[in-house]
Amino acid sequence: MYLATGSIDSNVTVWEWRAHRLAMKLTDSTGGVNCVTFSPDGNTIITGNEDGEVQGWDVKTKEHIFILKSDENSIKGHSQAVFGCAFSPDGKTIVSGSGDSTVRIWDMCTNEDPMTLRYATLKDVRVVTFSNDGKYVFSGSNDRTIRKWDWTSGGVLQEYEGHGKYVGALAMDPKKNRIVSGSFDQTIR
C-alpha cells in the first residue's frame, strides 16, 4: 500500500506506509503540485499542478506517461492552476478542477478534447470527485458551494450550500449515496 504526497517544490513523494519507508520520488515537470490521486487499480498516479496541467505516472515503472494541458495549438486544457483531480471508478476518465473556474472531463481511452463544465457563478474549483457509480461529478469551489454535475451532458443537477468559506475537500461515502465535504470554515458536512 502506498501513500502519495505532492508539494510546492514540484515533487511527488510516494511512501510504502506500512513499512514506513520511501518508495519513490517523482518530479512534476513544471509547477508545484496541488493534488495527487491514485487510479482505482493503484497502477497510475495523477497530479494537478500550478501550471494548469494534469500529469500521470506509471507506479511500477516510475515513468511519466502523460500530460493533459493546453498548448499553443489548443485550448483544451486549463488556463490556471489545477487544484483537484480524480479518476472515475473504472479508471477510464479523469476529472480536474481549476482556478480558471472550470471542471474538465478527460476520456483516457480517446485522445479527444476534454468536456468543459462551466456555471455562471462557479469560482475557482478547489476539489472534484466522481460518484461511486461514476454517473456524476461533484465539485467544491471558492463560492462555498458543492455542485453535482451530469458530466455526460454538462448540466448542474443540484447545488449544496452551507459552508462559510471555500470547499476544500470532498469524499464519497463508499457504502451510502452521500458526499462529505470539508471547508476552510473549519466544518465538515
**Beta strands at 64-68 and 54-58: parallel, antiparallel or unpaired:** antiparallel
Segments forming the whole domain that contains residue 64 = 2-183
- With respect to residue 89, please indicate whether it lies within any of the assigned structural domains: yes
**Beta strands at 11-16 and 167-172: parallel, antiparallel or unpaired:** unpaired
pTM, two decimals, is 0.92
What contacts 136, CB < 8 A, 6 or more positions away?
Answer: 130, 148, 149, 150, 151, 157
Residue 53 has pLDDT above 60, yes or no: yes
Q: For residue 17, what pLDDT is reported? A: 87
- With respect to residue 157, please indicate whether it lies within any of the assigned structural domains: yes
- With respect to residue 188, please indicate whether it lies within any of the assigned structural domains: no
Written as nine digits, the cell of 10 is: 514540484
- With respect to residue 189, please indicate whether it lies within any of the assigned structural domains: no
Rounded Cα distance, 2 and 60, in Å: 12
Instruction: Tell me the DSSP string of 87-113.
Output: E-TTSSEEEEEETTS-EEEEETTS-PP
Q: Are 80 and 116 in contact (CB under 8 A)?
A: no
Q: For residue 72, what pLDDT is reported? A: 55
Cross-sheet strand order for the sheet of 11-16 = 2-6, 11-16, 21-27
CATH number of the domain that residue 178 is part of: 2.130.10.10
- With respect to residue 28, please indicate whether it lies within any of the assigned structural domains: yes
Q: Which residue has the higher pLDDT, 102 or 70?
A: 102
Q: For residue 29, what pLDDT is reported? A: 67
Q: For residue 23, what pLDDT is reported? A: 93
Overall domain count for the chain: 1
Name residue, grid cell 499542478: 49
- With respect to residue 117, please indicate whether it lies within any of the assigned structural domains: yes
